[in-house]
């Protein structure tokens, strides 16, 4: 793979460089609630701009339906990027139309401009190769080189990630290089005990990674919404908690596999339950006694201690997915406990997952308390699953 350093060594002064960044930040109206991804995108963009390149940033935000939708404008991200860079970042009002053409035409050496949300164009995510290739061609016409730095999307075969890399000299960006380096440490020469903590909403999102991890980890801690499918598989009643009944058989298979391989699988022993989602009133019950009309929204105090103790002697930790509905303060305690255990730990600690990373920052934990906070949830999971990442393999070819 050619790298950002290679590109800088070639010399970029006056050259137009298209950078695929990941600026998919959570918004409240037009306010960014967690700017982690914008900050992570700065070093690559700044290195190019400082070297005199004309930087053209392309990115997506949210899931618009393949057409312009002001709710998903990149304007807040462009403004924040400009603040962080200390320079104005002009945002085109379209992706490859007249506004983009004029904004790109006006970019100066060392300047940074941004194209509007790439998912405003249905061709970006099209399953039809020719449609994606056509958009990629239009994007490529703006630039002389392409830098792939949106780690959160490298597992996607999309026009601005995959196809465009075939149309321009393509380089791996600094952020993607860092992320891959960290993830390789989790797969190659890791120090044991290796403990993985999984949480979040859906088991189905994480089945692949669980299957793969069972062959690698010493201990697997499961909390969050996905824990209930595991508890049910063990024969517990889970009330109205999040449950994926269609995954029960597979989860039973995981329990058996863990046992066979000697992987210690740790589930919550108590949970915070409530009658209606979002209710602040709650009670703590043992996982063997979840009332039929209540749902679990966080792991309980005993589970927090249990999880922390299972992390205490770890040498390598990967954590993906919050332990509860951390967006509501009442149900943030489990996530906070796991995060604090990682901060305390001397282990190589990696946090992956958009919500998990946002939770760490929202809870006010020091980012340098972790070895690495990944910007990509799905991408890091797919890497750990051993899947090929199209946005990476295209750079290797």
Crossing angle, helix 354-362 and helix 333-344, to 10 degrees? 80
Residue 32: which residues within 8 A CB-CB, separation 6 or more? 25, 26, 38, 76, 77, 80
Scan residues 253-272 and list those touching ligand ADP (CB under 6 A): none
Catalytic residue among 15, 16, 37, 167: 37
Residues binding ligand ADP: number (CB under 6 A): 20
The maximal CA–CA distance of the chain, rounded, in angstroms, is: 67
CB of 173 or CB of 354, closer to ligand ADP: 354
Residues 76-93: b if buried by 16+ CB within 10 A, e if exposed:
bbbbbbbebbeeebbbbe
Catalytic residue status for 354 = yes
Contact between 322 and ligand ADP per CB under 6 A: yes
Catalytic residue status for 378 = yes
Among 356, 365, 372, 392, binds ligand ADP (CB under 6 A): 356
Q: Are strands 270-274 and 90-91 parallel, antiparallel or unpaired?
A: unpaired
Are 153 and 394 in contact, with CB atoms under 8 Å apart?
Answer: no
Beta bridge partners of 319: 197, 351
CB of 193 or CB of 353, closer to Mg ion: 353
Tokens of 127: 């399953």
Cβ neighbours around 225 below 10 Å, total: 23
Tokens of 171: 């380089």
Closest separation in Å from C-beta 205 to ligand ADP:
6
Contact between 153 and ligand ADP per CB under 6 A: no
Closest separation in Å from C-beta 397 to ligand ADP:
29
CB of 15 or CB of 206, closer to ligand ADP: 206
Among 150, 353, 390, 391, binds ligand ADP (CB under 6 A): 353
Closest separation in Å from C-beta 295 to ligand ADP:
7
Scan residues 272-311 and list those touching ligand ADP (CB under 6 A): 296-297
Contact between 239 and ligand ADP per CB under 6 A: no
| Contacted entry of Mg ion, ligand ADP, none for residue 268, CB cut-off 5 to 8 Å set by kind | none
Residue 194: which residues within 8 A CB-CB, separation 6 or more? 186, 216, 217, 218, 219, 314, 315, 316, 317, 318
Contact between 201 and ligand ADP per CB under 6 A: yes
> Could you give the CA distance from residue 155 to residue 391 in angstroms, rounded to a whole number?
6
Scan residues 326-385 and list those touching Mg ion (CB under 5 A): 354-355
Contact between 242 and ligand ADP per CB under 6 A: yes
Summarize as ranges the residues that interact with ligand ADP (CB under 6 A). 199-201, 205, 224-225, 242, 296-297, 320-322, 324-325, 327, 353-356, 377
Annotated catalytic residues are 37, 202, 354, 378
């Amino acid at each position: 793979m050619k790298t950002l350093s290679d590109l800088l060594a070639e010399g970029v002064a006056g050259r137009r460089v298209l950078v695929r960044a990941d600026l998919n930040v959570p918004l409240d109206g037009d306010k960014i609630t967690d700017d982690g991804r914008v900050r992570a995108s700065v070093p690559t963009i700044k290195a190019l701009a400082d070297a005199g390149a004309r930087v053209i940033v392309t990115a997506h935000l949210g899931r618009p339906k393949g057409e312009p939708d002001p709710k998903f404008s990149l304007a807040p991200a462009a403004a924040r990027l400009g603040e962080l860079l200390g320079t104005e970042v002009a945002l085109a009002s379209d992706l490859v139309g007249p506004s983009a053409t004029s904004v790109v035409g006006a970019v100066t050496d060392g300047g940074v401009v941004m194209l509007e949300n790439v998912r405003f164009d249905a061709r970006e995510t099209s399953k039809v190769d020719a449609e994606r290739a056509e958009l990629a061609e239009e994007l490529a016409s703006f630039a002389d080189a392409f830098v792939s730095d949106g780690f959160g999307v490298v597992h996607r075969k999309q026009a601005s990630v995959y196809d465009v890399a075939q149309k321009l000299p393509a380089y791996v960006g600094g952020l993607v290089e860092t992320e891959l380096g960290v993830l390789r440490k989790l797969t190659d020469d890791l120090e044991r005990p290796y403990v993985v903590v999984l949480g979040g909403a859906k088991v189905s999102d994480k089945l692949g990674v669980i299957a793969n991890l069972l062959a690698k980890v010493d201990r697997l801690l499961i909390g969050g919404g996905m824990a209930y499918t595991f508890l049910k598989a063990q024969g517990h009643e889970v009330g109205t908690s999040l449950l994926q009944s269609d995954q029960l058989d597979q989860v039973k298979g995981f329990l058996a596999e863990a046992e066979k391989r000697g992987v210690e699988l740790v589930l919550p022993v108590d949970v915070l339950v409530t009658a209606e989602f979002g209710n602040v009133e709650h009670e703590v019950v043992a996982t063997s006694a979840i009332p039929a009309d209540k749902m679990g929204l966080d792991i309980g105090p005993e589970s927090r201690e249990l999880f922390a103790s299972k992390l205490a002697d770890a040498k390598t930790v990967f954590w993906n997915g919050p332990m509860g509905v951390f967006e509501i303060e009442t149900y943030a305690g489990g996530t906070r406990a796991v995060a604090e255990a990682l901060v305390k730990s001397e282990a190589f600690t990696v946090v992956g997952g958009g919500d998990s990373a946002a939770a760490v920052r929202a809870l006010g934990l020091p980012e340098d308390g972790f070895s690495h906070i990944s910007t990509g949830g799905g991408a890091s999971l797919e890497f750990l699953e051993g899947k090929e990442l199209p946005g990476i393999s295209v750079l290797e070819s």
